[in-house]
Structure 1
């Protein structure tokens, strides 16, 4: 979809009828509103630009709102600005002009073309025909990145105040060709907790067990341990836990056409069951165990 943003359509906040669980859902990469000027200045066609989306993830996890958790979801695409990065993780080779001295220009993600303003989409396809003005990158940070994170902070703070704790589920999708190194196993889900730093071990084990009990192949941290959002917001010792959940796209879309598979509704129902069981455990038990161990 090609559209031009206004202040009111950068992202959606889906509110439950009442806060019933200490969970906040976040879908930062499922946005599919592409600014007209962005598409016109890209060397890629519309389908290629969409290769880095977390396709329909906000729809897969929307049942969490019905269960009593708020959800934040981006409308802007990851290819335009990636809010799962530091605010100024920028590649100086992409821009005309000088970046501010506080910009992180040397991260691994910048080197790979996947900074706050990405240089590539999946399969290493270059996005832009020519270099961008530095002011364009800084404008995206100020007008899109910062408002998004401000909204996420408010949701987490409200939930933490209401329950004394909050669990952020950062929802993503991964390519269907992902395999675990050395085993060839294709995971259906990957739970990332930044190797135990963004959430308690009990929280991660709970998520894995629930998925495995449903018949899914679920693994922890490899190859995706979580990005900036998981790392930045996860503070287990303060009762703030952040888990990244990656779902294999091959379960629910045709990755060539990006169309939903006939099994889409069944996958969404399974995620609803997972969220219901996860929220129930968080509400009544697992957090008390986690805090006692910390």
Structure 2
């Protein structure tokens, strides 16, 4: 395959909503679009797109005025925008999926035999999708930091509650990741933990199975006044069922959304009242 390949994209790889507040929402996994030439290589299992962060964009819509959102429109089976572009694993010794996944979260193949991407195709996908997403995220974080003196990247994720290949047992509803406190000022971690831990309906863990993906670790630079925190939600918090068709549950989401709003409002307050260290 030629290294000069480009993919036909009916829409931009990234949708950017530029606000003037201090929070940037990253959404690397809510997109469901795949170029036809990639979609046609997937097998029946791959075409289910089961590993999507279903309805995360809908879940966060309208929670915070003037927020900036950077959303990948492409599916993670094209390329995973939350993986190190070098392909290095974020969780050495633990099961995970790669930069261009060959299997789903249940360790089942997603490609037809012989149609898996080679190194040249992976590089093309990186250039066409991974690079534009992160260029947009970098630009927006720097713009917001210039406006407020600090910016907070809140990386939005969700995952099925039970995936034996990736973790044991039932996943807590709130999974907060700061790479063991390295990616943000401690007051950010403490504030998010407090709101989640006081939510009687849900269980919460900090830096457990999900410590923050490449996005959180890459952009979280408190010394440069860019802070990052990841929120991985168990999908039972806002889906009717964690199987096809993965329908959004308005009633469940209505219980969850006030907590998410409180988190985002608190993070805004931390920046606006200059409670973050330099």
Flag whether TM exceeds 0.5 (same fold).
yes
Three-state SS of the structure 2 residue aligned to 1:52 is: coil
Which one of 101, 123, 126 corresponds to residue 106 of structure 2? Answer: 123
Q: CA deviation at 1:269?
A: 4.2
User: TM-score under structure 1 normalisation?
Assistant: 0.81
CA contact (8 A) 1:178 1:187 kept: no
Change (3 A) 1:248 1:46: same
CA contact (8 A) 1:62 1:71 kept: no
Q: Does 1:260 align with 2:248?
A: yes
Partner of 2:211: 225
Q: CA deviation at 1:206?
A: 0.4
Alpha-carbon distance in structure 2 between the residues aligned to 1:237 and 1:60: 31
Q: Does 1:32 align with 2:56?
A: no
Partner of 2:44: 44
CA contact (8 A) 1:175 1:249 kept: yes
CA contact (8 A) 2:60 2:257 kept: yes
Q: Does 1:243 align with 2:242?
A: no
Q: Does 1:170 align with 2:168?
A: no
Q: 1:71-90, aligned counterparts within 5 Å?
A: 71-89=69-87
Change (3 A) 1:119 1:111: farther
Choose between structure 1 and 2 for higher RCO, CA contacts under 8 A separated by at least 6 residues: 2
Partner of 2:4: none
Q: Does 1:201 align with 2:174?
A: no
Deviation sequence 1:207-247 (CA, Å, 0-9, x none): 11122334332221111001111111111122111100111
Which one of 67, 73, 78 corresponds to residue 69 of structure 1? Answer: 67
User: Root-mean-square deviation (CA), in Å?
Assistant: 2.7
Partner of 1:271: 260
Three-state SS of the structure 2 residue aligned to 1:9 is: coil
Alpha-carbon distance in structure 2 between the residues aligned to 1:133 and 1:231: 27
Q: What is the count of residue pairs matched by the alignment?
A: 264
Alpha-carbon distance in structure 1 between the residues aligned to 2:23 and 2:250: 29
Q: Does 1:282 align with 2:271?
A: yes
Alpha-carbon distance in structure 2 between the residues aligned to 1:220 and 1:47: 33
Ranges in structure 1 where 5+ consecutive residues have no aligned partner: 90-103
Deviation sequence 1:160-187 (CA, Å, 0-9, x none): 11111111001101221279x99x7752
Partner of 2:16: 13
Alpha-carbon distance in structure 1 between the residues aligned to 2:211 and 2:92: 14
**Higher fraction of helix:** 1
CA contact (8 A) 1:82 1:118 kept: yes
Three-state SS of the structure 2 residue aligned to 1:263 is: helix
